[in-house]
Amino acid sequence: MTRSIKTKLETIDKDHFSLLVDIGKIAKEENLKAYLVGGMVRDLLLGFNNLDIDIVIESNAHKLANALVSRFSNCELSAKHDRFHTAKIIFTIDGKKISIDLASTREETYEHPAALPTVNVSDLQKDLYRRDFTINALAVSLLPDDFGKIVDLFSGLNDLENKKIKILHDLSFIDDPTRIIRAVRFAVKLGFEIEEHTKKLLFEAINSEQFDNLIEKIRGDRVKIEIRYLLNLPSIQEAIKEFYNSGIHRMVSTSLRSNDKLLNLKLDKKHKSENSWLLYLGIILKDLNNTDQEQIMKNLQMTNDEIKIITNGLKAYKILEISENTNSITLFKTLKELSSESILITKLLFSTNNKILALIDEYIEKTSKIKLEITGQDLILMGLTEGRKLGETLNLILEMKIKNPNMKKEDEIAQAKILLMNH
């Protein structure tokens, strides 16, 4: 495989490219070394588009950040962390903002398994060695003299070519168990294989039970980020299968049980949403009791909106599951306050029930869009006073309109009159 990605870099968006060139030049002037690292390097080599710029500086990121801000009027410092030796800068080009992460080359030590690491400035080799997998431990020089040259200290190029996910050292999963989820994610996403020794260590770590119910013990948002990536993958069935096969589910909760039915659930393409991970997580949590579900979601540090999407979707499913004669009206009543994502959870769970599925599709495509033309004000003019009865009357007319969507405003008024006479 190539030892330079200069020509590949020349094909990316021209503004991003010229920023990389400028950063290399300023680094040289400041007697620093600058390298592009992480996902962007991996994806460029694989031919995927990725403009997430992560740069490491040997050895002082803050010095480079300051130099860039003082040299370029369109560059601002948006964040700076002394403890982690990182900085974020933002360039504005023709109104477009390009954000760049800078970090000093550093090494990490973990005081105990899964702890947040202690960070010390080091050299490039140690910085690459602290990373998760060999394919993510490639660096590309940005200095003018060797711009685009790949630094491959751990045979990452070889592993990219042989489609292998391989850790750099035996304690990798123990230091950072979120890497277990990352290994599975990259394997599923890229169609790679987890290398034998890495696989052995992955199962040893999971089976050691020290990471059982991990989200109760570490900052759950780190796990949530990785679960979100995993369950948002287009090959969702494969992702869910590996979620159970690899034992990742035990990190979320040892009460979770694999369920073959789950593997057959898939959203229609037309319903694809950025939040599809939430729908699948909801389904994974479905068989737990409400208290356990909520505890897990809290431990994952999910937002109230995210929690609501899942709980409402599962609640609607349970109501419809036990109701005997579901029809357009009862379905309408169950789904009407729900977000589109909650409805999709319910829909996924009824994947094998054609009758309910058709009713949910009818709701999504037609019934949910039906609106009354008659208003509360019209009913007040007809002699009704504001209050519960007014709301009930509007609901009854809406139900009639769901049965007969061709109703016009005069038909609605006629029905209102009949209802009021009968009261």
Residues 363 and 314: their CA atoms lie apart, in Å, by: 17
Residues 16 and 109: their CA atoms lie apart, in Å, by: 33
- Of 176 and 306, the one with the shorter C-beta distance to ligand CTP is 176
Contacting ligand CTP within 107-166 (CB under 6 A): 131-132, 136
Nearest CA-CA partner of 239 in 224, 255, 227, 225 = 227
Minimum CB–partner distance for residue 130 and ligand CTP (Å): 7
Looking at beta carbons, which residue is closest to ligand CTP? Answer: 39
Minimum CB–partner distance for residue 222 and ligand CTP (Å): 8
Query: What is the x/- site pattern for ligand CTP, positions 299-338, by CB under 6 A?
Result: ----------------------------------------
CB count in 10 Å sphere of residue 162:
12
Contact between 58 and 123 under an 8 Å Cβ cutoff? The reply is yes
Helix (H, G, I), strand (E, B), or coil: what is residue 96?
A: strand
Tokens of 69: 């801000």
For tokens 């900085």, the residue is 87
Minimum CB–partner distance for residue 38 and ligand CTP (Å): 3
Q: Which residues contact 126 (CB under 8 A, 6 or more apart)?
A: 105, 106, 107
Contacting ligand CTP within 51-110 (CB under 6 A): 52, 54
Give me the long-range contacts of 121-125 (CB less than 8 A, separation at least 24): 121/59, 121/60, 121/85, 122/59, 123/58, 123/59, 124/33, 124/35, 124/56, 124/58, 124/151, 125/153
Minimum CB–partner distance for residue 114 and ligand CTP (Å): 11
Q: Are strands 106-109 and 118-121 parallel, antiparallel or unpaired?
A: antiparallel
Minimum CB–partner distance for residue 296 and ligand CTP (Å): 21
**Residue from 176, 306, 341, 412 in contact with ligand CTP (CB under 6 A):** 176
Contacting ligand CTP within 199-228 (CB under 6 A): none
Hey, what amino acid is at 134? T
Contact between 202 and 249 under an 8 Å Cβ cutoff? The reply is no
Minimum CB–partner distance for residue 308 and ligand CTP (Å): 27
Separate counts of helices (H) and strands (E) for the chain: 21, 11
Minimum CB–partner distance for residue 174 and ligand CTP (Å): 13
Minimum CB–partner distance for residue 259 and ligand CTP (Å): 28
Query: What is the x/- site pattern for ligand CTP, positions 244-283, by CB under 6 A?
Result: ----------------------------------------
- Using the Cα atoms of residue 234, residue 236, residue 241 and residue 243 in order, give the sign of their dihedral: positive
Minimum CB–partner distance for residue 143 and ligand CTP (Å): 21
Query: What is the x/- site pattern for ligand CTP, positions 19-48, by CB under 6 A?
Result: -------------------xx---------
For tokens 């995927």, the residue is 48
- Of 101 and 146, the one with the shorter C-beta distance to ligand CTP is 101
Q: Which stretch binds ligand CTP (CB under 6 A): 64-72, 110-118, 177-185, 348-356?
A: 177-185
- Of 230 and 314, the one with the shorter C-beta distance to ligand CTP is 230
Residue 376 binds ligand CTP (CB under 6 A): no
- Of 52 and 361, the one with the shorter C-beta distance to ligand CTP is 52
Minimum CB–partner distance for residue 55 and ligand CTP (Å): 11
- Of 54 and 287, the one with the shorter C-beta distance to ligand CTP is 54
Size of the site for ligand CTP (CB under 6 A): 11
**Residue from 85, 166, 179, 347 in contact with ligand CTP (CB under 6 A):** 179
Cα 155 to the center of its chain, rounded Å: 29
Q: Which residues contact 107 (CB under 8 A, 6 or more apart)?
A: 119, 120, 122, 126, 127, 129, 130
Interface contacts to ligand CTP, rule CB under 6 A: 38-39, 52, 54, 131-132, 136, 176, 178-179, 182
